[in-house]
Structure 1
């Protein structure tokens, strides 16, 4: 059972406000801090706080900045912390609940966009995942070492060695500078184990001269 209390698809809303934000990935059981300052999204947070406290994070995929095309899959998060700054911004933290597909986008009067979410494909997000099939941490760490050396990045290796593996996979998936399509593939991976395998493949693919792995 999710600690936020969502046990089944019927516990989730039939309408969901969405926040298109490039590169910002939210995963089930993963936290995402956000700094909200655009008026339309301040309005969205106000409405969410007075209702279900759920919003959907989704990647834009082309189109205009004001009305981008939306990826087919996003992740709903519950606002689990909230504060307002003196200059009117909202600092919030989202905790991922469940991924969703877009059944359809709704014709609404709100300044932010809303969709009818299809939760069924990702209903398993509402239960604790089976982590027994995850690849060994050293496989991921080895791919990360080569990637970091090639891209001149700094990494907290103590965290790599000690963080829960699901947390590490999600942190790297969200934090590495992959393309929007690559990040979307990581989000849509059906299980944490498959996300980890895809992550290792992406890390290997971005190392010059290393053709040892191919993203399926």
Structure 2
């Protein structure tokens, strides 16, 4: 089966569906990628770096990532291009190739999300913590409709962004297919962040 061709932007952090990402773009390969994405109204893949760095030689990306779509551009104080991108759907890398300019392209298959699931009672504390966090932090999530806090997938993604998790833990959550299992994994991490 042939996959979907997606340029990759390996980063030292994972991006979750509906999450936002601010990037400064200065390497020619990524400037070209951003130009192509803007011209074609297409996205690019964000994968956690397993080996290598964000700058220089092509890094080794994780096998599961999130497609990001550019939602805003700006010119930063230092003259560099800045973009704001939003995570869309997850994908699994089938294979990669490196273009002459060092940009990694991947053949990917989209990960199908199941039907929305409610936050189970035993994980209700996570939705409450997230709602309080958003109320205190302000911003776009402070005005989100209350029903979102009943959606297991949305709660798991937003809480995974909010908690100071290791990147390997974020990647594990990204790779999990069941949103309720993702919440249970977050429950496992939670004692680390509780005072006392």
Which deviates more from structure 2 when the two are superposed, residues 17-26 or residues 155-164?
A: 155-164
* Residues 156 and 48 of structure 1: CA distance in aligned 2, closer, same or farther (over 3 Å): closer
Aligned residue pairs, count:
180
Task: Please say if residues 66 and 87 of structure 2, whose CA atoms lie closer than 8 Å, have aligned partners that are also in contact.
Answer: no
1:178 shift after superposition: 1.1
* Residues 103 and 169 of structure 1: CA distance in aligned 2, closer, same or farther (over 3 Å): same
Q: Give the TM-score of the pair, scaled to structure 2.
A: 0.75
User: For structure 2, which runs of at least 5 residues remain unmatched after alignment?
Assistant: 137-141
Q: 1:71 aligns with which of 42, 62, 66?
A: 62
Q: Give the TM-score of the pair, scaled to structure 1.
A: 0.69
Where does residue 106 of structure 2 map in the other structure?
115
Q: 2:148 aligns with which of 164, 180, 186?
A: 164
1:188 shift after superposition: 0.9
Where does residue 169 of structure 2 map in the other structure?
182
User: For structure 1, which runs of at least 5 residues remain unmatched after alignment?
Assistant: 1-9, 146-153, 211-216
Does 2:170 align with 1:199?
Answer: no
1:163 shift after superposition: 6.8
Task: Please say if residues 23 and 174 of structure 1, whose CA atoms lie closer than 8 Å, have aligned partners that are also in contact.
Answer: no
Task: Please say if residues 24 and 80 of structure 2, whose CA atoms lie closer than 8 Å, have aligned partners that are also in contact.
Answer: no
Where does residue 82 of structure 1 map in the other structure?
72
Which has the larger strand fraction?
A: 2
Does 2:38 align with 1:49?
Answer: yes
Does 2:78 align with 1:93?
Answer: no
Does 2:22 align with 1:34?
Answer: yes
Distance in 2 (alpha carbons) for counterparts of 1:110 and 1:14: 20
What's the Cα RMSD here?
A: 3.2
